[in-house]
Structure 1
Amino acid sequence: MASADDANRNREQVRQLIAGIDDDVANGLLKGAIDLHVHSGPSTMPRKLDHMEAADEAAAAGMRAVLFKDHHYSVAPVIPMMERLFGDRGLSMFSGLVLNNSTGGLNPFVVDAQLKMGAKLIWMPTAQAGNHIRSAHRKTRLATNVELRPSPALTVVDPYGKILDEVKQILDLIAEFDVILSSGHLHVWEIWKLFDEARSRGVKRLLVNHPMYGLHFTYEDVRDLAKLGALIEQSAGLYVDSRFNTYTPEELKEHILAAGVEHSSIGSDLGQVDNPTPVEGMRQAIKLCLALGFSEAEVRTMVADNPARLLGLTG
């Protein structure tokens, strides 16, 4: 966890690095990009913009798709209404369900209903995962910044380390509907158990969010899960000129290379107040990757091609 002074130094370094990257190049790479990690509102937490504003900004930038994430409800049922407003602007919109207690927890009945309403991604517990709760007590950026009713700590394993029966049912549903499984904010030990079980049950689309932040991954874990087929998403907000900045630019490069460009993606993980918007965060991340020596083709692979493949988008 970066100190305030470290974060300030990181942000200044980011500003200096991205200043040397042409805006037209970055904007060109934004066209066709996909952000699988948009935290717009309404939400229990303060947001800088709502879903309509986030979609409008993404469409104006020429992005191909966005996926809305809220820790406490699913935006999926709202997507058909949003498509009526933005469907003619070339932007695809998606959402999914986070399996926190506030949405039903590890409940296959809720998952079944949401999948039938168009959810494209099922996140394992985040704000109410045991790993998250243990981390958030130290006031890390995994904290929710809002006082909700105290929640039991969720885990996907029983006391013997075996995957719970209800989680197996959820994995079967994810496989049946061929949607994405995210590891949420589980501990890396739980994620290994979960992904092994998921693959054995036919789940094909695996996603890990910000593995080096709060999930206790090693570089070897990142490399090996990528080799098993998981897409490793880095959160732009942890690296760019954001109040969530935690890592140096050089660490972003290390984190990407641990998985390899071919197994990496970048999601904004933005939308909070006093932060860049999701589109601006993606633009900064694109510039930062170029400044770190990644080619335009490599950046496009991470911000467009890999997330499109995970979503099952063609063309």
Structure 2
Amino acid sequence: MPQANPELIESLMQGAIDLHCHSGPSVMARAVNHEQALEQAAAAGMRAVLFKDHYYPTGPFVDVLKDAGKATKAEPIGSIVLNNSVGGINPFAVEPAVKTGAKVVWMPTVSAANHIREGHRKSLLPTKGKMLKQVALTVVDARGDLLDPVKHVLDIIAEHDVVLSCGHLHISEVWPLFDEAKKRGCNRLLVNHPSYTVGASLSDMKELVSMGAWIEHSICMFIPNRMKVYDEAFLKAMIEAAGVDRTFFGSDLGQTNAPLPVEGFRQIIGLCLSIGYSEEDVRKMVGTNAALLAGLGTNKAAA
């Protein structure tokens, strides 16, 4: 495939947004910390970076960076992941998180029952040292009905108009979660790496979009590195299933022995151009759509 013009790639980096940056500090091995990730994004002309950690809320780092004058060129964004380390699906953790900079609330990832089943024979998201064994979490009871604490969390998400991500739940759990979320006024629904761990099919992706969800693809899964699992043909099939207007990329990078998040964005821009997407399409998928979802510069996400 033809290589994209480096100047065009740098042009498309301007205003790009990463809603899935795994910077540190962390109990997992990280190549950059939050300040470094933000500095690198700003130097590349990116608009915003969301810090995601599987074990603690990152919102307080946003205020620290802003107070230190480190957030003048790119906006830092916080998030919270509802794993065992914050009490699981815990409204008492979500409320202060969204009041201290969190714009995305992720359902369980490393603590999700689905994630634990997936990792039974291989280590998914290993930590630097041995940790307590995770207690499996789900959002539904034995009858498939949504649990009451989940409903309470959804009410907080709706009240503060932040993003609900399905985390690493299985697609069978995502349907009742999103159905109830819509009933309770959650306007920003997100599915990350839909085919990986979540287990969504192409037809599922179409249906998710039809109910108002956004699809985020992890850059690390498509560019050359140790975490690559898919080729460009499958990437194109997923983009076509959801549509350019509902698809965007997050780096899902920051790990050691992997491309830095900013470099990941450069590579995915080049890849998308090489498989036939226009400059306008690519700009949507690396910036505009993420801004709409997260409410950056707008009051409500597009319906």
Q: 1:204 pairs with 169, 173, 187, which one?
A: 187
Write out aligned runs for 1:221-260 (5 A): 221-260=204-243
CA distance in 1, matches of 2:11, 2:249: 16
Q: 2:126 pairs with 116, 140, 144, which one?
A: 144
* Contact in 2 for aligned 1:35/1:65 (Cα 8 Å): yes
Structure 1 residue 95 corresponds to structure 2 residue 86? no
Show the counterpart of 2:96. Answer: 113
* Contact in 2 for aligned 1:188/1:215 (Cα 8 Å): yes
Show the counterpart of 1:53. Answer: 36
What is the aligned-residue identity percentage?
49
CA distance in 2, matches of 1:87, 1:187: 36
CA distance in 2, matches of 1:143, 1:37: 15
| Deviations, residues 34-89 of structure 1 (Å, cap 9, x unaligned) | 00000011111110111111011000001000101000011101111112332322
1:208: Cα distance to partner? 0.5
What SS does the corresponding residue of 1:57 show, helix, strand or coil? Answer: helix
Show the counterpart of 2:248. Answer: 265
| Deviations, residues 99-118 of structure 1 (Å, cap 9, x unaligned) | 00012211111111111212
| Deviations, residues 260-281 of structure 1 (Å, cap 9, x unaligned) | 1011000100000010000000
State the AA in 2 paired with 1:228: M
What SS does the corresponding residue of 2:69 show, helix, strand or coil? Answer: helix
Tell me whether 19-28 or 257-266 shows the greater mean CA deviation: 19-28
Show the counterpart of 1:157. Answer: 140
1:229: Cα distance to partner? 1.1
Show the counterpart of 2:287. Answer: 304
* Contact in 2 for aligned 1:137/1:143 (Cα 8 Å): no
Show the counterpart of 1:85. Answer: 69
What SS does the corresponding residue of 1:247 show, helix, strand or coil? Answer: coil
| Deviations, residues 125-166 of structure 1 (Å, cap 9, x unaligned) | 0001000000011216x3434532012100000111000000
| Deviations, residues 19-40 of structure 1 (Å, cap 9, x unaligned) | 7111111111011000000001
State the AA in 2 paired with 1:85: G
CA distance in 2, matches of 1:248, 1:233: 16
Unaligned runs of 5+ in 2: 299-303
Show the counterpart of 2:301. Answer: none
Unaligned runs of 5+ in 1: 1-16
Show the counterpart of 1:10. Answer: none
1:290: Cα distance to partner? 0.3
State the AA in 2 paired with 1:92: E
Structure 1 residue 186 corresponds to structure 2 residue 189? no
Show the counterpart of 2:270. Answer: 287
State the AA in 2 paired with 1:144: P
CA distance in 1, matches of 2:171, 2:71: 38
Show the counterpart of 1:73. Answer: 56
Between Structure 1 and Structure 2, the one with more helix by share is 1
CA distance in 2, matches of 1:50, 1:118: 18
In the superposition, the TM-score normalised over structure 2's length comes to: 0.95
* Contact in 2 for aligned 1:31/1:63 (Cα 8 Å): yes
